[in-house]
Every structure is written in structure tokens, then in C-alpha cells.
Amino acid sequence: MFSTVLLFREALYGALVIGVACSVLGVYVVLRRIVFVGATLAQISSAGIAFALWLAGTGLALGPLLRPTVMSLLLTLAAVVVFAGGARGRIPPDATIGVTYAVAAAVGILLIAKAASGEAHDIFLQGNILGITRGDTLVLIGVAVPVLVLHALFYKELLFVSFDRETARTLGYDVRRWDLLLYLTLGVVIASAMQFAGVMLVFNFLVLPAVTGLLLSQHMRGVFFWSVTSAVVAAVVGFSLSVPFDLPSGPAISAASGALVVIAWLGRRLLARSS
């Protein structure tokens, strides 16, 4: 079993990089109650991949735009700018996000139905974790490391504007710019991970590890620690079980994440009863 897992070690490395990056950003996604924004960005990113695959089939010579990751990144960043700006109007912001989610999902499926590529359907639905190469892992690291460095560097600023926007504003913080930074990093990570991990796994890494972290810790550092740890454990366990049992890797990792949430929840309840 171990040798079989080693055979796909690049895929495991890639999943770990995606898991670590998403689980750090996921703490903000969960605490700021923008889980639906995370899901919608993932869906838009996915639609971007579908759009690129469909365009490739039309024979149009659009150069780098035909690369799924490039198109995914462009569409996701466009959505990020809109979401970070906040909605102003009659329609509640979550309804706008809901509309975007539904439209992105529908358009993605329609485009993929007409895409020429035979593999397109699988990539669109589940990503292609096992197809991750050394080069892909390096690209993922190249995206994740600067994002994580930015988050470490500006931790207190991002925390402050997330926790108490009005007071941050009175101390001279440009809350919208910090929101934009958070959303941009979110968009870049989602778009770069989407082609490999798919909507479900990216969304899973954005939400479930952070929830595990919040269940296991009473302070921010602990939440980040447990969020990253649970993402790593879920990736290793889920992936290691998926290969020998011939299960799809993404859902196996997601199931492992779910199991960790349940274990954390039970552990917390037991602790609460005993104290």
C-alpha cells in the first residue's frame, strides 16, 4: 500500500500544498461568515476552466487564455473585485452571491457539455489530483508561499478589519483595501488549486479544517494550527486510503476532513461534560 501511495507522491504533495493554503485562508472564510463566497469563487473558478476547455475546442487562437488556470484566475479575480467591493442596492449581498453561484454552476456545466476534451468532465467535477506533476506542485508552492507570507505579515491588520471594521476604520485602516487583499489571496489560491482539486475538495479545504480548528482551540493561533494540521492529516489519510482502495482522491480527502470535524466535535463535548 505504501509503495502504491509513493507512486503518486507528487499528487499527495500537491494536495498538501492546496490543503495548507486553503486551511489558513479558510479561518477567515468561516469567521467572517463568507463560506458562500468561498463556494461561489470555487464555482466561478470551475466555470473558468470549463470556459477555457470549451474555447480550446472552438479552434480560436487565444494563446495563454486557453490555459484553464489562466482563464480560471481571470474570472475568479473579476468576481473577487466585485465581492470585495460589497453590494450596494436593493438586493441583499448574499442573494447576489447566490445568483452568481447558480449562474456559474449552470454555465460551467453547459460549457463542459460542449467541450471537445474527453477528460473535461472529470476535471470539471472532481479536479485531477492524481494528474499533478512535479511542475504543478512547484507552481502551487509558488502561489501558496507568497500568499501565506502576506497573511503572516499582515495578520494583525486582516484580523482587525475582520473582527471590528468600524473601529479599524476610525484608526485609519482602509477596510476595503484589506478586504480586497483577503479576497484576492482567496481568489488566487482557489483558481490555482481548482484544476487539480475540483470544486468539492477546494471548498472542503476552505471550510472543514477551519471548523475543526474552531472546535479544538480557544485562541486564534490554536485555530490556525489545528486548521492546518487537520487539513494535512485529512490529505494524507484520505489520499493514502484512496489509492489502494481505488477511490476518487478528492472525495476521500473530503470524507477524512468530515471525520476530523466529527472527532473534534465529540472531543469538545466530552471535555465540556467532564469540566
Partner 1 sequence: MAPLVTFDRATLGYGRRVVLTDISFDIPEGDFLGLVGPNGSGKTTIVRTLLGTLPPLAGTVTRDHALRFGYVPQRDQVDYSFPLKVLDVVMMGRYDRIGLGRRPTADDRARAREALEHVGIAHLADRRLSDLSGGQKQRTLIARALVGEPTVLVLDEPTNGMDLVATTQILGLVRELHDRDALTVLMVSHALNEVANYVDRIALVVEGGFRIGTTDEIMTEETLTQMYGIPVEVDSFDGHRIVVARRRDATEAADRV
Residues that bind partner 1 (CB under 8 A): 31, 153-154, 156-157, 159-160, 162-164, 166-173, 214, 217-220, 222-223
Q: Provide CB contacts within 8 A for 167, sequence distance 6+.
A: 160
Residue with Cβ nearer partner 1 (4 or 167): 167
CB of 163 to partner 1, least distance (A): 5
Q: Provide CB contacts within 8 A for 112, sequence distance 6+.
A: 50, 53, 54, 120, 121, 124
Residue with Cβ nearer partner 1 (217 or 229): 217
CB of 157 to partner 1, least distance (A): 7
CB of 155 to partner 1, least distance (A): 9
CB of 7 to partner 1, least distance (A): 41
Burial 209-224 (b: 16+ CB within 10 A, else e): bbbbbbbbbeeeeebb
Percent of the chain as helix, strand, coil, to the nearest 5:
85, 0, 15
CB of 217 to partner 1, least distance (A): 6
Residue with Cβ nearer partner 1 (62 or 152): 152
Residue with Cβ nearer partner 1 (44 or 147): 147
Given a contact cutoff of 8 angstroms between Cβ atoms, the answer to whether 26 and 238 are in contact is no
Residue with Cβ nearer partner 1 (119 or 164): 164
Residue 34 φ then ψ, to 5°: -115, 35
What DSSP letter does each residue of 22-41 carry, written as one string? HHHHHHHHHHTT-HHHHHHH
Q: Using the 8-state DSSP alphabet, how is residue 157 labeled?
A: H
Residue with Cβ nearer partner 1 (30 or 201): 30
Nearest to 126 by CA among 264, 15, 25: 15
Residue with Cβ nearer partner 1 (159 or 236): 159
CA torsion 79→190→249→206, rounded to 10°?
-90
Nearest to 102 by CA among 36, 54, 55: 36
C-alpha separations of 40 from 57, 87, 112, 270 in Å: 26, 15, 18, 35
CB of 150 to partner 1, least distance (A): 10
CB of 86 to partner 1, least distance (A): 14
Residue with Cβ nearer partner 1 (159 or 259): 159
Nearest to 128 by CA among 197, 72, 192, 71: 197
CB of 223 to partner 1, least distance (A): 6
